[in-house]
Amino acid sequence: MAGLFESAGGGSAAIALDEVEASILRTLEVQMLELIGPGPGGPGDDPLAALFAEGPTEAPEDPALARLFPDAYGEPGESTDAETRAMAGEFRRYTEVDLRARKREDALAVVRSLDGLGEDGGLLRIPAGECRRWLGALNDLRLTLGSRLEVSEEDEQGLYRLPDTDERKPLVMAYIWLGELQETLLEAMSG
């Protein structure tokens, strides 16, 4: 294995990560946790009240967060009428808190797995039950980087031809690697 997933049988996966790969992946997931933000309430808050917490009704202004938490109604990037905005706001109000919690849990699952690796990296085995969390977390990272890089279907191939002096090159390399991780994880889960 060279930093890509392979099947470990039964829907589980394994990946060999060196210390640099593990560090990059962990750093990206920690940054994702910071971007998503903390959940509602604090440790001493009423857990029953947290079940009924309502989310925001407006879409996030940050393009990366808007990509992670898109409106359920209307077309992305197009203006909508008041009725469509109201329906999207109502849907967001009741779903975003749970969606943010799931994205946080996915990112934390990856961080915890990576924390179990030795200082020099090593072979990481992902149980079948955790593979979906990994897949979700990798997808969220890739969506965020794609948003930051303003990637569109038309210009994605142009990313492969960026000169080494382009300041976006490290992010592009991470974006491409995350895509390969997603693809190989899906293959490992089905093989």
Find, among 46, 43, 75, the residue nearest to 59 by Cα.
75
The reported pLDDT for the residue numbered 14 is 96
Distance CA(6)–CA(191), nearest Å, equals 9
Q: Establish if 109 belongs to a structural domain.
A: yes
| 79 vs 88: CA distance, rounded Å | 13
Query: Is residue 80 included in any domain, yes or no?
Result: no
The 10s digit of each residue's pLDDT in 8-37 is 999 999 999 999 999 999 999 999 999 999
Residue 70 within any structural domain of the chain: no
CA distance 138 to 111: 12
Mean pLDDT (the chain) is 87
The number of CA neighbours under 13 Å toward the Cβ of 1 is 23
| The predicted structure's pLDDT at residue 1 | 40
**Residue-wise over 60-70: b if at least 16 C-beta within 10 A, else e?**
beeebbebbbe
Average pLDDT over residues 72-86: 80
Q: Let me know if residue 56 belongs to a domain.
A: no
- Convert the pLDDT of each residue in 103-145 to its tens digit: 999 999 999 999 988 777 899 999 999 999 999 999 999 999 9
Average pLDDT for 86-91: 86
151 near 171, Cβ under 8 Å? no
Asked whether residue 12 is assigned to any structural domain, the reply reads: yes
How much of the chain is helix, strand and coil, in % rounded to 5? 60, 10, 30
Residue 173 CB partners (closer than 8 Å, separation 6+): none
Q: Tens of pLDDT along 47-71?
A: 666 556 677 778 888 999 989 999 8
Domain that holds residue 37: 5-42+100-190
Q: Average pLDDT, stretch 77-90?
A: 82
Measure CA 62 to chain center. 15
Task: Provide the residue type at 89 as one letter.
Answer: G
- Residue 25 counted as domain residue: yes
Q: What total number of domains does the chain contain?
A: 1
Give this prediction's pTM: 0.87
Is 167 within a domain?
yes
